[in-house]
Copies of this chain bind each other. A is one copy, B any other.
């Protein structure tokens, strides 16, 4: 039986793993696996079986005791709980190399995360068409955000302009920010910022590589 979510607090670590479960479950769908129990799923994700069961239990009861979980309906349950089973409209600030690379990365769109407006403060870039979108002046952000129903802002500016970009986004009422700029930004408590830094991973690899163990 499928029961609705427990109202309790979901740990941040769980949210991150749920994203992994979806990724792995989608690969199981591709291999025509219909039912999976917690232990093999856990192994495929590199975590403990209890962990998987506890994580899923936060969202409700989707398992069948003695059997396991239906792969497809589990994906649906997780994506629905996370709120990623719908379209999210996003604005991108900073149309440099990185910004262009993200625009070309079709996966975002395929998952319902659509970049629908792009901005830059460089007058030479404004008006240019990149990947089918016109580059707007950052000053017009507020109007376009409300016109277009944008809920997430992506910062791909150089580090020294990241704070100003964040300010523009907040002024436009955006509370969810994905920051690719290599700088921390100061925001009030209620604003949610996720930092993407390619070097964190490389630093981990380098550190572990040189460790003698």
Chain A interface (Cβ within 8 Å of chain B)? 12, 15-16, 18-20, 22-24, 26-27, 30, 44-46, 81-84, 88, 97-98, 101, 104-108, 111, 113, 151-152, 159-160, 175-178, 182-184, 192, 194-210
Contact = CB atoms under 8 A, between A and B. Distances in A.
A208 B190 CA distance: 10
Contact of A105 (B44, B101, B151, B205): B101
Instruction: Please report whether the interface of chain A is mostly helix, strand, loop or mixed according to DSSP.
Output: helix
Q: How many copies does the complex hold?
A: 2
Given A30-B160, A152-B205, A202-B178, A197 B82 contact: no
Given A178-B205, A183-B23, A207-B83, A200 B105 contact: no
Contacts of A175: 209
29 contacts: A16-B200, A19-B203, A20-B197, A20-B200, A23-B182, A23-B184, A23-B197, A26-B182, A27-B160, A27-B184, A45-B184, A82-B203, A82-B206, A82-B207, A84-B207, A97-B105, A107-B182, A108-B198, A111-B202, A113-B199, A113-B202, A152-B206, A176-B205, A176-B206, A176-B208, A176-B209, A178-B201, A192-B208, A196-B201
Contacts of A195: 20
B88 A202 contact: yes
